[in-house]
Structure 1
């Protein structure tokens, strides 16, 4: 399974760095590697908002379509639909999740996050994928989701 982290980026920073996701990715990797550095810690607090377990779990339960099951066991959140399955966990204000491929997250998780979490940045932990989870856009009356991902 692939592992990913979702960061809730403050709106001001998201607006500035939407088209500079490589800079944001490098910063987040640097902070993860050196979380005790005071300069990085201060920048991280300026850039991100904290995701809380009770709030995200409640939000996912409320916004889950009828064909998706969301439940928790302890501090783990499970999302299930037919043969698709995801495991989520909030750690230090970051939403970490595991899935077979990012397409599962695009189909199961991301649509439930848009309404309350508009500026989310996803980054692979064991895979070199990263990018913005963008809101659903309208194109020629087709609803399409976009994940800006760069390798």
Structure 2
């Protein structure tokens, strides 16, 4: 089972750090490892990241009409999501939502594609494989100017 950690960035910081994926990875890795324990750094984390309530995600998933049926259950501060033969779990972990799925494709089919509609600036990290990136590219963002 793979673990993907989702972080919900505030718009100002998402735009500023959009092309600085390596900086975000290092920052989130240090935060995850508990190396940021002083008050100043904790305030910085709260300035940059939005604290998403898992129940709000549950409400979003259960109130929408999607292309295929999702079976979503909230149990003990975690979400269990199933559809056909696929299943995954989402758990609150500080400012992150940790997603456990059998593959990236399963996580995308059951969760990532729907979370895009819930929040526009979601950064996902697999710390085991050191892979990371934005789930949804910024809209109306030019890659270059002539």
TM-score by length of 2: 0.84
Q: How does 1:50-89 map to 2 (within 5 A)?
A: 50-63=51-64, 65=66, 66-89=68-91
Counterpart for residue 107 of structure 2: 105
Structure 1 portions without partners, runs of 5+: 138-151
Q: Relative contact order (alpha carbons < 8 A, sep ≥ 6): 1 or 2 greater?
A: 2
CA shift for structure 1 position 126: 2.7
Provide Cα deviations, 1:102-125, integer angstroms capped at 9, x if missing partner. Answer: 111222111211222110011113
RMSD between superposed Cα atoms in Å:
1.9
CA shift for structure 1 position 73: 1.9
How many Å separate the matches in 2 of 1:101 and 1:53? 22
Matched residues, number: 137
* Structure 1 range deviating more: 26-35 or 6-15: 26-35
Change (3 A) 1:74 1:14: same
Change (3 A) 1:31 1:6: same
Secondary structure at the residue paired with 1:85? strand
CA contact (8 A) 2:29 2:127 kept: no
Change (3 A) 1:80 1:17: same
CA contact (8 A) 1:10 1:119 kept: yes
How many Å separate the matches in 2 of 1:102 and 1:129? 11
Question: Whose strand fraction is larger, Structure 1's or Structure 2's?
Answer: 1
Structure 2 portions without partners, runs of 5+: 140-146
CA contact (8 A) 1:64 1:112 kept: no
- Confirm or deny that 1:93 pairs with 2:109: no
How many Å separate the matches in 2 of 1:69 and 1:135? 27
How many Å separate the matches in 2 of 1:97 and 1:87? 6
Provide Cα deviations, 1:91-148, integer angstroms capped at 9, x if missing partner. Answer: 22321110111111222111211222110011113332211001699xxxxxxxxxxx
Change (3 A) 1:64 1:126: farther
